Structure 1
Amino acid sequence: MSFPSHETPGTQDPLDRPDDIVMTGLGVVTPIGGDVETFWSANLEGRSGIVLEERMDTRGLPCGWTAGLIPDDVKDKVRAGHGAPDRSWGDTLMHACVEQALADADFAGRPPADGPAALVYARVWPGPTGSFPQDYVTHMADLADRYDAVGNDPVGVLERLRGRHLSLETQDLSAFPREIAERLGTAVLPVRLEATCSGGLRAIAEAARLLRSGRAEYAVVSAAVSRNTPYVLSQYGQLMALSRWKGDPGQASMPFDRRRTGMVINESAGALVLETAAHAARRGMTRPHAVIGGWGLAVDTAHMTAPRVEMIERVMRTALADAGAEPDDVDSVNAHGTSTRLNDVTEARALHQVFGERMAEIDTCAVKSLTGHGSAASGVVESAVAALTLCRGVVPPVVTCTEPDPACGVKTSLTPVRRPVAAVLKNSFGFGGQYASMLFRRPATPRQAPERARTHEPRPA
C-alpha cells in the first residue's frame, strides 16, 4: 500500500514546557484490535470490525443488523488476564486498557511515581448488561429500601451494607477506582463522568484540568462501553439513528458518504496516561505521544438529539483559543463522524465555518468507519489515533467513503496519507446536547514507533 504524498509542512514543533500536559500511555480494546499496534495497523489498512449482529434476534427491529464486535479470541484473552469474580465486563475491558497504557507509559513493574494521581473514567452502568431497564428498577428499589431503613445516616448505611453481597445490578459504584489505586500504589482522586458520546473526550479534558490546577501530577483516563442488547438496539432504532445498510457489513458505517444511512454501535474501551511534562521528565519519560493543547466544552438545551452547527463551531473555536492556536495551525481533523445523515453534515458545516477554504486541504479521518460508535469509549480510542497521527505523520483513511457527499465537502482518502502533522483537532458530540472538541499537538520529541510497527507499517511508494 502506498501513501499519497502531501507537501504542506506542519508548523514547527514547539518546545514542551514543564507545565504542558502530555500523553505518555495508550491502551485500547476494540473491534479492530486488542492492542494499540494491531488497532493502528487496522486503521491504516482499512480493516473493518463491523460484522452481522448474530448474537440476538434482530428480525423485529427496523435496523441494527450490524455491530462492531470485539473478536472472540481478544475477549478470551481479556477475560483470562483481567477478569475477576463480580467484575463487570465493562470494568474488565477498562482494566485491560489501563494495564496497556501503564506499560506504554513505562509504569509497568516500576515503583509508583511521585505526586498525587487522578483517575477519570466514563462507562455505562456497571451491571452485566448495562442496558436493560430491569437493572435500573432493581437498583432504584434497593436505594429506596435503604433510604426507608436508615435515611442518609452514613453509619447506618455502612451497617446495612456490611457483610451484604450486592448484585452488580444494585451496586452504586464498581470497585474500579479502588483497584486502580491499588495498582498504582497510591491514593487517587477518582472522577466518574456521564456525558453520553462526548464522555471520553470530556474525561480527557477533566484529567487535564486536574493536572493544570495542580490537583494531580499524573492521571489515568479510561472509558468502556458494551451495551449491544435488543433493548439498546430498539432504543436507537426508534430514533432512526442506526444504519439500515443491508450490503457488506464492513460498509455499514460510512461517515461523510452520500449513501450513509446511520451509525453502527460497538463494544470497545480505551485508556490513556496523562502527566505534566515536568513529572514525565522526572521519571525519564521524554518522548510522549501528544501534548494536550486546549479544549472546548458545551451543553446545549435546544434539542435532545440533534446537533447544531453553531455549538460545534463554538467548542472548536474555544479549543483553538485555549491552545493559543489559529485555524491555520490545524493539519488534520479527527472527526466525530458517526455516519448519520444529520450529524455528519452538521459537523462538516461547522468545520467549514471554522476553516473555510482550508477544508479542501485538511485531511480528515473518521475512526467509526471501521469500529462503529463506542459512545464515551470512542473519544478515548479516537484520541489515541490522533496521538499516533501526530507521532507517525500518517492520517488514516476512511475506506467506506467511496462516494463523498458534496453537502459535507470533507477531505478524506481511501488510502493512508503520509504528511507532517503538527496539530490535530478532535471532535466528540453526544445526545443531551453534549459537545466537546480538543486540540492535540505534536511533542518536541515525539514517541517513535516500535520496531515491529516500523517494519510492517506501509511506506510511500
Structure 2
Amino acid sequence: MSDDIVITGMGVITPIGGDVETFWSANLEGRSGIVLEERMDTTGLPCGWTAGLIPEDVKAKVAAEHGAPDRSWGDSLMLASVDQALADAGLGELPAEDGPAALVYARVWPGPTGSFPQDYVTHMEDLAERYDRIGNEPSAVLEHLRGRHLPPETRDLSAYPTEIADRLGTAVIPVRLEATCSGGLRAIAEAARLLRSGRARYAVVSASVSRNTPYVLSQYGQLMALSRWKGDPARASMPFDRRRTGMVINESAGALVLETAEHAARRGMTQSYAVIGGWGLAVDTRHMTAPSVDMIERVMRTALEQAGAHPDDVDTVNAHGTSTRLNDVTEARALHQVFGERTADLDVSAVKSLTGHGSAASGVVETAVAALTLCRGVIPPVTTTTEPDPACAVRTSLTPVRRPVGTVLKNSFGFGGQYASMLFRRPAAPRPAPQPA
C-alpha cells in the first residue's frame, strides 16, 4: 500500500465548468461548452467555426484572482487550477524536512493573453522581418538575437515554477514537458516516476492551453483536422459518430496533486480519487499526424502489463476521442485488438464531445473525469454520438451509466507520433462527493 501513487487533489478550468464539481455535473448532464467562434473572422476558413471557450464569468474570476501584468494567460489558468487542487488535497505548507515537491507541467504558448490573435502577431512579424534580413543561416541568426530584447510574445517569461514553490513553501523539482496532445498523461507518468524514485514525496501536475487564433486555425485547417459541422455548435464534436467532421479546439487547464499513499496517510489524508496502476508511452516517427493502430495497441497493453492487469479487468475506457475521421476509427480498431469481442460491451466515454480538445490539458482534465468515475460509480455519457459509426463499433451511451467501476483505462495521443495510455484503479477509501451546503 505504501508504494501506491494516489491522486489526492484536483482542479480544472474548462468550457463546461470552472471547478471540479461544476465540470463533473456538466459531464453527466451532457452540457456543452462548444460555441460559435466570434472573437475573430473565420469566414475565409474551411473549418474552425466553433470552439470550446471558458465562460466569461469564469475567465473574469481567473483574471481577477490570478492575473498579473507579467504573467501569461496560460500561467494564470494553471495557477487557478493548481490552487483548486492544493485546497482540495488539504495541502498547506509542509515541514521543510518533508523534502522537495515535484512540479510537472505542460503549457502551450507563453503569450500574454493566449486567447486572441495578437498573441501571434508580434512573433510572426519578427520571424518575417528576420528572414527578410538574414535568412536562416544559423550563425547570422545567433548574431541577430545576441543581446536583443525580445518581447513577451516571442519568448517564455514564465515564473511559474517559482510561484508554485512559494505556494508550497518548499523547493520544487520542475519538469516542463512538450509532448503535444499526450502531454497531460505523460506529465502524470513523469510525476509518478519521480515519486516512485523517492526524489519527491508529493507532486503537482498541471497543464493549460489557449490557442484559438487565426494562425492556429489555419494550421489545423490545412491538416483538415477541424470540425466543419454547420449545425448546432454544441454538437460539433461527436466522437465515434458517423457524421463526425473533425475536432474542436478549446481553452482549458487542469491540475492534480499526486502523493505516495504513505505520504498522504502521514499527513492524515486517508481518502483519494484514484490509484495510478500503470502506463504505456511511445513515440512513432513513421508519420507526423496520422495515428497508428499498432502503437495505440502497444501503449494500452503496456499500461495493463505494468499495472499487472488483464484486458478483462478494465471496466471502462476514457477515450482520446477527438472526433476526427482518422483518429476515432484508429483508436477504435486498437480497442478491438486489445479487448476483442468484449469491446461491444465495454463502456467508452469521450469528454471532448462537450469540451473540445485542449491539447496537453485534455489529459489532465480528462483524468479528473476518470478519477470521479471510479469514486462515484458513474460513466459519463457521450450525448453528441447519436449515430454511432459502425466502422468504430464502440459502446457509448446517451445517458450516464451507473455501476461499480474498479478500473479505467485513459488514452491520449498527439501529433508527432506521441502516444500515452494509463490505467487508474479505485482506491480502497474513495473520496466521497461533497455534501450540499
Q: Which bracket does the TM-score occupy, shorter chain normalised?
A: over 0.9
- Are residues 1:442 and 2:426 paired? yes
Please give the secondary structure, in 2, of the residue aligned with 1:132: helix
CA distance in 2, matches of 1:381, 1:246: 27
**Correspondence for 2:134:** none
Q: Deviations over 1:7-48 (max 9, x none)?
A: xxxxxxxxxx10111000100000000000000000000000
Contact 2:109–2:210 (CA<8 Å) still a contact in 1? Answer: no
CA distance in 1, matches of 2:68, 2:155: 16
Please give the secondary structure, in 2, of the residue aligned with 1:214: coil
CA distance in 1, matches of 2:92, 2:53: 28
CA distance in 2, matches of 1:268, 1:333: 22
Deviation, 1:113, is 8.4
Please list, as runs of the form range in 1=range in 2, the aligned pairs for 1:98-113 lying within 5 A after superposition. 98-108=82-92
**Correspondence for 2:342:** 358
- Are residues 1:135 and 2:126 paired? no
CA distance in 1, matches of 2:224, 2:144: 43
Q: Deviations over 1:406-444 (max 9, x none)?
A: 111111100000011000000000000000000000001
State the one-letter code of the partner of 1:393.
G
Q: Provide TM-score, normalisation by structure 2.
A: 0.93
Distance 1:181 1:449, change over 3 A: same
**Correspondence for 2:309:** 325
State the one-letter code of the partner of 2:53.
L
Deviation, 1:116, is 2.0
CA distance in 1, matches of 2:109, 2:291: 25
Distance 1:344 1:284, change over 3 A: same
Contact 2:5–2:259 (CA<8 Å) still a contact in 1? Answer: yes
Match of 1:264 among 248, 255, 266: 248
**Correspondence for 1:369:** 353
Q: How many residues are paired up?
A: 425
Contact 1:118–1:189 (CA<8 Å) still a contact in 2? Answer: yes
CA distance in 2, matches of 1:57, 1:116: 47
Deviation, 1:135, is 2.0
State the one-letter code of the partner of 1:234.
S
Deviation, 1:136, is 6.5
Please give the secondary structure, in 2, of the residue aligned with 1:338: coil
Please give the secondary structure, in 1, of the residue aligned with 2:48: coil
Contact 1:196–1:430 (CA<8 Å) still a contact in 2? Answer: yes
CA distance in 1, matches of 2:122, 2:3: 47
Match of 2:24 among 19, 40, 43: 40
Distance 1:105 1:246, change over 3 A: same
Which contiguous aligned blocks of 4+ residues in structure 1 show a shift greater than 6 angstroms?
109-113, 143-146
CA distance in 2, matches of 1:281, 1:87: 35
Contact 2:40–2:214 (CA<8 Å) still a contact in 1? Answer: yes
The share of aligned pairs that are identical, in percent, is: 80
Deviation, 1:150, is 11
Distance 1:137 1:284, change over 3 A: farther
CA distance in 2, matches of 1:133, 1:170: 10
Please give the secondary structure, in 1, of the residue aligned with 2:10: strand
Q: Provide TM-score, normalisation by structure 1.
A: 0.88
CA distance in 2, matches of 1:393, 1:287: 16
Q: Deviations over 1:34-90 (max 9, x none)?
A: 000000000000000000001100000001110000010000011111111211100
CA distance in 1, matches of 2:327, 2:234: 20
Please give the secondary structure, in 1, of the residue aligned with 2:272: coil
- Are residues 1:125 and 2:113 paired? no
Q: Which has the higher contact order (CA 8 A, sep 6+)?
A: 1
- Cα RMSD (Å): 2.1
Contact 1:139–1:170 (CA<8 Å) still a contact in 2? Answer: no
State the one-letter code of the partner of 2:181.
C
Distance 1:65 1:144, change over 3 A: farther
**Correspondence for 2:64:** 80
Contact 2:74–2:113 (CA<8 Å) still a contact in 1? Answer: no
CA distance in 2, matches of 1:414, 1:202: 30
Contact 2:28–2:400 (CA<8 Å) still a contact in 1? Answer: yes
State the one-letter code of the partner of 1:284.
G
Contact 1:315–1:437 (CA<8 Å) still a contact in 2? Answer: yes
Please list, as runs of the form range in 1=range in 2, the aligned pairs for 1:168-183 lying within 5 A after superposition. 168-183=152-167
- Are residues 1:57 and 2:45 paired? no
Contact 1:363–1:411 (CA<8 Å) still a contact in 2? Answer: yes
Deviation, 1:147, is 5.4
CA distance in 2, matches of 1:346, 1:319: 18
Gaps of 5+ in 2: 131-137
> Which shifted more, 424-433 or 113-122?
113-122
State the one-letter code of the partner of 1:405.
D
State the one-letter code of the partner of 1:21.
I
Please give the secondary structure, in 2, of the residue aligned with 1:451: coil
